[in-house]
Structure 1
Amino acid sequence: MSFSVRRVRASRPVRALAATLIAGALLAGCSTFSEEGRDQYERGQGEKPGAEGTGEASESAKPEPPYDVRPLLDPRKKYLGVAADGAPAKMKAVEDFAKRAGKKPNLIEFYSAWGDQYEQELVKNSWDYGSVAFIAWEPFETSMKDIASGKEDAYIREYAKSVKELNLPVAISFAHEMNGFWYPWGTKKTSAADFTAAYKHIHDLFDDEGATQVIWVWSPNVTHPMPKVKLKPYWPGDDYVDWVGVIGYYAATGPNTYQTLYGPTMTQIRGFTKKPFIIAETAAQAGERKPADIKSLFQGTAERDDVIGFVWFNFDKETDWRINSGPLSEKTFKQQAANSSFGFDVTKP
């Protein structure tokens, strides 16, 4: 997104928004569990770590196994996601989006501030609707240095225990758009080294608590507003990330094709990881070009096997990003969403 639009969007009231995988076996290496985390998973299934069907634990003592997110990491079809006003606390806006799109979303994003408890009810609401919850976790009230040094460990462990207790899959994107300059965890106040140290520390604490239900998302902004900021220094490593959540909007000015908007960023990222992409936040600004932008988003995503879907920011804030900002935009979105590649049952990916 161009700087001018990004500045406006970055100032949106985040707290108002906050209110708002089991198919065939996959390769073990495709999740970010460490060996210790995998041992925790096997213990949860009543097995000794590394044991293969020994049956040593009695059925009566066998606890509920942790939800295995691995089939959700790289599904056969693509996610059709949405962030919508009041959701998933209330689902009216999601239901309206689904009616207009002609298809239910299967990924629902919402925003949560650092210090908030893990909102189990919102995650459950999403799951009951047929969607995976996707939390953008925004550390406004702390620093990356404090997180990395352990000052926030009690809060992080409490959050992780709550994730484990609920035992439903959840995607978490920590400190998104870290390569931009508009957030306190961005380039003006936080170094790449401090960001990666904080990200890895949070992941390690979740792993230590056995909260393996998380799909870890690393979400840089598209690079064109700050082309000199390289992404590799911000990369925590393949052991710490499941999805690369690229964020980029079709704005009235700036890149206006899939390749020009996302291509340079994805090419740079492919220089250091092969993790699947998901467009973690996107929409098209209202105007004559919006139907073409919607078509570009769907067709570009459909054509790339390494892009597993997108999340549409369906808000009328500062500009009307909603799919129904105009009748032709709504019609185009519904036509494109009819593509069978988009949408699937998250319980049977």
Structure 2
Amino acid sequence: MRRARGLTAALAAGAVGVLGACAPQDRTPEVPVCTVRPAADLAPEQGVLFGVNLDWDAQSLADYTRDLGRRPAVVVSFTSVPLDDADVQNVTWAADQVRAEGGMLLLTLEPDQGLAAVTPDVVDRLADLLASFNESGVPVIVRFGHEMNGSWYAWGQQPEAYVRAFRDVAAALDERAPGTATMWAPNYAGGYPFVGGAFAAQPGAPGTALLDTDGDGTVTAADDAYAPYYPGDDVVDWVGMSLYHWGSAPPWGETEMPEPGKFAAQLTGTYDGLAGDETSAPDFYQVYGVEHGKPVAIPETAALVVTDDVLPWAQGLAVKRAWWHQVLAPDVATRFPQLKMVNWFEWDKHETEIGAHVDWTAAGHPALRDAFVADLPEALVFADEPRPCVPVGATATTEP
């Protein structure tokens, strides 16, 4: 899902103000050097990381943490790539807030100018920036070109170019930013090949033949929606797939209760319900989590509640709760032991796809937040309170 990436100057100033003792500072004998946590160590051995996808213009991480009474283990931010100066500033502000509150940054990179714009110089600049975050105590996971199997992004449905760009980014991170992991995150296969999108693969175009995985001469729902885009086990640390409850059936945009078991069925490619038979979708969890041995993430999730409709408040709560009872079920870690991260999409925004305003939040106001917190299972992993540290390579100083 696309969202605005800006961070207002006022909020940014507030973010800097909350760093306090948690910000990198002049070294004293009592303050240790920041630890660069290896990328391979970011997935928990037990449990599921709880994360949040914040609307940075509406709420700081400090405010969200205070209201929830928990420190998210993962905080999501988006940026275009190539990075311009404003992008660097916004991403740095996000990293500052993560450093202050604890956890790790999940940075989604959107190559809006096309994959050809992801040049070696662009990749090197990115890796150096993320290395500086790692050296100041902020682990990072890079989700490059998410939903690349979709037809709505400039980097979509170009398997050869996408894999090449992903591998270039991964190689630079491996060399320059060892505290940064990679995440490969396609769109859920329901509806594939998403005919009619602005960037849909065209017959005869470079790479299109790779999408015809069953060899029948056309790209259809019977083709594998994931495999042509997979960059390889050697460069993928995490796999992820965003799963939203947009409603029960077309036309989308109605506030409706999710079907029991919908989340698990979509994750495993077994969904056959009100939205139709989607069992042609591969079993994402089994193939990439179990067979490829990768930790699985749900980088974005939430349930649609249209606020333009005149609905009883309890109905909206019931829809949200029914969905979080699935994605954050107490037994989710035992049913899906490779599932290591779930991030809630905490936005209240206009959705152009349905022409309506949607409240996706789980903590948007006190009564809703109280219900959400009361239902959070013990299997979730939250961030520890951060400790002051000196960035790696910083010049030591002594107090007068």
Q: Are 1:237 and 2:227 counterparts?
A: no
Q: Which has the larger radius of gyration?
A: 2
Give CA-to-partner distance per residue, 1:165-195, whole Å, 9 cap, x none.
Answer: 33232111000011111111112xxx21211
Match of 1:345 in 2: 384
Q: Are 1:113 and 2:80 counterparts?
A: yes
CA contact (8 A) 1:111 1:137 kept: yes
Match of 2:168 in 1: 201
Match of 2:299 in 1: 280
**Cα 1:80/1:65, change in 2 over 3 Å:** closer
What percentage of residue pairs aligned between the two structures are identical?
23
Output the amino acid matched with 1:177. Answer: E
CA contact (8 A) 1:73 1:215 kept: no
Which runs of no fewer than 5 residues in structure 1 stay unpaired?
1-8, 21-62
| TM-score, normalised relative to structure 2 | 0.63
Task: State how far apart, in whole Å, the 1-side matches of 2:34 and 2:296 are.
Answer: 31
Q: Deviation of residue 328 (structure 1)?
A: 6.8
Task: State how far apart, in whole Å, the 2-side matches of 1:18 and 1:135 are.
Answer: 18
Match of 1:69 in 2: 39
Which runs of no fewer than 5 residues in structure 2 stay unpaired?
12-32, 193-220, 250-257, 270-283, 306-315, 351-357, 388-400
Task: State how far apart, in whole Å, the 2-side matches of 1:153 and 1:18 are.
Answer: 30
Task: State how far apart, in whole Å, the 2-side matches of 1:320 and 1:136 are.
Answer: 22
Q: Deviation of residue 84 (structure 1)?
A: 1.1
Alignment of 1:301-320 (within 5 A): 301-303=332-334, 304-318=336-350, 319-320=358-359
**Cα 1:179/1:346, change in 2 over 3 Å:** farther
Give CA-to-partner distance per residue, 1:44-70, whole Å, 9 cap, x none.
Answer: xxxxxxxxxxxxxxxxxxx98754233
Match of 1:139 in 2: 111
**Cα 1:138/1:108, change in 2 over 3 Å:** same
The SS at the match of 2:5 is helix
The SS at the match of 1:171 is strand
Task: State how far apart, in whole Å, the 2-side matches of 1:16 and 1:266 are.
Answer: 33
Task: State how far apart, in whole Å, the 2-side matches of 1:222 and 1:326 are.
Answer: 30
Q: Are 1:262 and 2:267 counterparts?
A: yes
Q: Structure 1 residue aligned with 2:48, among 75, 78, 89?
A: 78
Give CA-to-partner distance per residue, 1:222-267, whole Å, 9 cap, x none.
Answer: 1113144521111111111111121111221257422123221323
**Aligned residue pairs, count:** 284
Task: State how far apart, in whole Å, the 2-side matches of 1:214 and 1:18 are.
Answer: 26
Task: State how far apart, in whole Å, the 2-side matches of 1:335 and 1:110 are.
Answer: 26
Q: Are 1:212 and 2:217 counterparts?
A: no
| TM-score, normalised relative to structure 1 | 0.72
**Cα 1:260/1:325, change in 2 over 3 Å:** farther
Give CA-to-partner distance per residue, 1:188-211, whole Å, 9 cap, x none.
Answer: xxx212111110012123334x22
CA contact (8 A) 2:71 2:383 kept: no
Give CA-to-partner distance per residue, 1:69-94, whole Å, 9 cap, x none.
Answer: 3322344332110011217xx8x443
Q: Are 1:292 and 2:292 counterparts?
A: no
Task: State how far apart, in whole Å, the 2-side matches of 1:325 and 1:211 are.
Answer: 35
